[in-house]
Amino acid sequence: MNLIFLGPPGAGKGTHAGMLREEIGIPQVSTGDMLRENIREGTELGLKAKRFIDAGELVPDEVVIGMVRERLSQPDCAKGYVLDGFPRTVPQAEALSRFADIDKVVNLVVGEDIILGHLSGRRVCADCRGTFHTRRLRDDKVCPDCGGRLIQREDDKPETIKNRLAVYRRQTEPLISYYRENGLLTDVPLQGELASDHAVLREALGLEA
């Protein structure tokens, strides 16, 4: 099953893709994770991408498309995958269609108030890279897993979130029409409660409860 998750930043694409990875054994292919790994390692790609990510802008197509093509050619993607964070534009979708066969595109429909709550409360451990939310932390500065320092990413700060949502509406929402016209799109409305939202998602994918 080759899937794409669409939805605004903070909709839960990464969370639900990670849960499916554990449940049905197909990899979560996250362009965000791949880019952040390059940023941490200080690669040429990472340094170039960081300027765009910190400003809440999209990384140029040629960088992301090449990275995704290489990732999907790896053996663990042979039986399926969930694309999380790609494509983000119609030109990216058209490029993807030249080297990948997509079975279904899931559009996660989430209210803006839920998105702001998800992202503004997110913290990342500077040491183990674990991701947490302030509402589930006793101390929002200390990692509960390794004791490392928790930080708020630049792209999770309120001013950047608003810019990211504007960028999404301008450049990514046209994908909804593109995939709907191609008969691949399924809308999945979410309410912000993880367990019930994931059950709705599984049902939309035709998976057993």
13 catalytic, yes or no?
A: yes
- In angstroms, how far is the first alpha carbon of the chain from the final one? 17
Q: Is the peptide bond before 158 cis (omega within 30 degrees of 0)?
A: no
**Domain 2-124+158-204 homologous superfamily, CATH:** P-loop containing nucleotide triphosphate hydrolases (3.40.50.300)
Sketch the domain layout of the chain as residue ranges: 2-124+158-204
For the record, the structure tokens of 90 come out as: 């119609």
CB 11 within 8 A of CB 110: yes
Contact between residue 31 and residue 81 where contact means Cβ atoms under 8 Å apart = no
Reported as a pLDDT band with limits 50, 70 and 90, residue 43 is: confident
Most confident of 18-22, 59-63, 85-89, 181-185: 181-185
Active site residue 202: no
Let me know if 153 is a catalytic residue. Answer: yes
Q: Where residue 178 falls among pLDDT bands split at 50, 70, 90? A: very high
88 is catalytic: yes
List the catalytic residue out of 36, 71, 88, 202.
88
122 belongs to the catalytic site: yes
Cα(154)–Cα(52) distance, integer angstroms: 11
pLDDT (0 to 100) of residue 154: 84
Mean pLDDT of the chain: 89
